[in-house]
Amino acid sequence: MINVSKGFSLISSKLELHGIGKKISIIVPAFNEAPCLEKNIMAIREAIQRITRSYEIILAEDGSTDGTDIVSKKLAVENPWIIHSHFAERLGKGGALKRAFRVSSGELIIFMDADIATSLNCLPQMIGEIERGYDMAIGSRRIRGSKSKRSPSRTLLSWIYNLFVRILFGTGVYDHQCGFKAFRRNMVESVIDDVQSNSFIFDTEFIVIAKNLGFSIKEFPVIWAEPESRLSKVQLLRDGFRMGLQLLKLRANIWKH
């Protein structure tokens, strides 16, 4: 059963950016992020407060085993601008995000990784792309102007994955999986029910469907550094095969529907 807890009220004030609406919702998937969660959420709050006072931060926490659920609940009780979207079993990134999207109330919806691998200095540019009229803004580690620090094996695997996606689906996007994206609410409402994946491929499927529906997408360069928690050894053959299989399954599902 899903459990959503929040503080007594949400901060509300007039959003200075034109055309976005009253509130920005920031969704942070939180699976086993207990050691760094509180510190990083406060950093996100500091960054968004430079832009608007009308916001909410939703902790999409599911199936954690390290006390992330306890930390998330505590943060929600102590801070009126935090919502804790909890599910006892592991849903996967996509499943947690879907539930959080439905809990959100902002006209602009953002999701970002809990480890803040993407510099928060990129946040104003991402919101600015939506302000300029795009339906979706995608942080990219693979286009001109970006700065990315990651292991060679992960760099190669990412390059192969994104090339394969462009060949199969013709998205024109160079980084489908960066955990730093923003959406207009009407776009999310139009796309989310058609996204079937709950796994790592969620981002890619969302982009493919959005493109097919004619929504405008802007890819912009970000500053990104691989956190120590992600420095586990990548097995190119195993992980590449798994990703390729997921993409072929997605291609088949799209043909079917």
Residue 203 annotated to the active site: yes
Residue 181 half-sphere exposure toward CB, CA atoms < 13 A: 24
Angle at 140 between CA 138 and CA 141, to 5 degrees: 160
- Catalytic residue (choose from 115, 175, 203, 239): 203
Which pair of structure tokens corresponds to residue 238?
């195993």
Do residues 62 and 96 touch, judged by C-beta distance below 8 A? Answer: yes
The DSSP code sequence of the chain is -EEEEE-S-------SSTTS-S-EEEEEEESS-HHHHHHHHHHHHHHHHTT-S-EEEEEEEES-SSSHHHHHHHHHHH-TTEEEEEESS--HHHHHHHHHHHH---SEEEEE-TT--B-GGGHHHHHHHHHTT-SEEEEESSSTT-EEE--HHHHHHHHHHHHHHHHHH----S-S--SEEEEEHHHHHHHGGG----STTHHHHHHHHHHHTT--EEEEE-EEE--GGG-SPP-HHHHHHHHHHHHHHHHHHHHH-
Give the side-chain half-sphere CA count within 13 A for 217: 24
Residues with catalytic roles: 203
